[in-house]
Structure 1
Amino acid sequence: MPSVAAHEFWTLGKARMTKKKEVNEKADEKLGSDPFLVEIGRRIKKLRVDAGMTQEHLGNVSGVSSAYIYLAERGRQNMTLSVFRRIAAGLKAPIEDLLSDAELHAAPTDRSIHQLVHVVDKLNEFMNTRNEQDKALTKEVEKVAASHEQLMKFLKEGSKGKPPR
């Protein structure tokens, strides 16, 4: 069994590592200090996500690492014009879209259109199924109502004859 001192040392070391990890995670999510770079990074990320690309894929087509894309999207990477141009090309976006003062209004991508068509198809399929279920349920309710009517008629006549089926 470890000594009390060894246990305290291990616990203290673990606490320091945990605290350091938490600090690094918070710093990792921190945006850069230059508002211009932060805005450029936000636009890069928006176009990348709208195109259905991962940071790794954009990095590959742009000739930079996914870590570089990660930092650029947070405004923590001051890109050269050459890299900026390659990232814009990787996004298939004009450089003007990334630099414009106007808010980005990305045109629908093939992927987003495909996703929308898929959702509409599923909704139509669901509605058709519901219509069929509603028709079947209505027929069952009509049968029960007809049976109820026959039963009431039978009971009013004083239970003469055979009960209705």
Structure 2
Amino acid sequence: MSSRTVRASTVVVALASFLLSCSGSPKEPADGGKSPAHGVGKAVSAPGSSEPAAASTASRTAPAPAVEKVRDVFARLQATYNDGCTTPANCEYFLGRVLDELNSLELSMKTDPQGPAHFKEPLARIAALHTELGDDRSFANLKKHQDQLTGARDKINAWMQGHPEDYR
């Protein structure tokens, strides 16, 4: 056997060992199932298929992700000040991002230990924005309501600046 064949065989064996160590195992993982990849092997139905998803071989389900802290979502909302509608493609991304961050902030405020009453004003602004937008989340509708989106962001930013204990 040539040295080249031996090296190739060694690489194949090492790769096979690695792949086997990465494949699912029925025993509990060392992290107690808290790995982000835990439960990834679940089967899903094909798009457009009326067949239900196949039963998973793992009976455990991953825990629901925790809601982010208000300060973390607020930081992302503030980061939208560094962006804008500079091009049509960027405008679509920007407006969608502002809306996503406002929605995340709403969820964080509603589940914050201080309770939603503490965030009454910003939550009212987000609710008014949702009423204005309706169920239409298309770019055309977001563009039409661009001033309301950025206005809600700006007013919530001003409110949060007056409540530094909520974001520090």
**Fold in common (TM above 0.5):** no
CA radius of gyration, larger in: 1
For the aligned pair, the TM-score class normalised by the smaller chain equals under 0.3
The structure that is helix-richer by fraction is: 1
TM-score of the superposed pair, with normalisation by structure 1: 0.22
